[in-house]
Amino acid sequence: MSGKAVTVLACPAVEPAAPSLERAGQDRLAEAAAESFQFIWRCLRRLGVKPEAAVDDAIQQVFEIAARKREQIWPGHERAFLFKVALLVATEWRRNQRRGEVSIEDAGQAIPESVPNVEELLDQRRRRALLDAVLDGMSLKLRTVLVLYELEERSTAEIAELLGLPAGTVASRLRRARAQFQARAERLNARLSTERGEP
């Protein structure tokens, strides 16, 4: 820590809580964390934290930050808070990856040099690597909406609540995100077809 004072999340419920209320908040957050673990893990992964070992570290960071800030979380908004922290952590990872501070060397995740045949394309790891390659070209804000809608199957209303955005903004981002995703997938498809020698 640099020691620099920064403003942190502040919610109205900042009065010193009685021990039992603190405990209630802790239990609720811990329950939300237990229920949301896979959701948060998948989101970190699809939002660009890689390789897999880095996701494990990133989710640890998410939960530690949430645990330290548990008294600032509104009751009933634990899951949304965890997601916000995950988004923040993913942002940091992506930034550091771009700076080269975090190694992104991972053979399993790299875009394959050779062209996969149909059978290989069915391979889950390979498809995931291709999926990540397609997503990697998108901005985080569009990628986030796409991941929540298409992979996590959240409604636009839920996404709006999670992100604290108007529903119209989410719908607009989703349209752009899908257009980008489909355009990139189409380019990938064209590349695969060309390298396979298909017309």
Residues 72 to 101 in contact with another protein, rule: CB under 8 A: 72, 74-77, 80-81, 84-85, 87-89, 91-93, 96, 101
In this structure, the chain runs to a length of: 199
* Number of residues located near another protein, criterion CB under 8 A: 104
Q: How is residue 99 written in tokens?
A: 């700076």
141 counts as binding another protein under rule CB under 8 A: no
Tell the smallest beta-carbon distance from residue 158 to another protein (Å).
Answer: 10
d(CA 175, CA 39): 23
Residue 25 or 138: the one with the smaller Cβ distance to another protein is: 25
d(CA 32, CA 66): 11
How many other C-beta atoms are found inside a 10 Å radius of the C-beta of residue 122? 10
d(CA 73, CA 14): 9
179 counts as binding another protein under rule CB under 8 A: no
d(CA 85, CA 10): 14
Tell the smallest beta-carbon distance from residue 88 to another protein (Å).
Answer: 5
Residue 20 or 197: the one with the smaller Cβ distance to another protein is: 20
Q: Could you tell me if 63 and 33 are in contact, meaning their C-beta atoms sit under 8 angstroms apart?
A: yes
145 counts as binding another protein under rule CB under 8 A: no
Tell the smallest beta-carbon distance from residue 181 to another protein (Å).
Answer: 7
Residue 125 or 197: the one with the smaller Cβ distance to another protein is: 125
d(CA 49, CA 82): 16
Residue 123 or 195: the one with the smaller Cβ distance to another protein is: 123
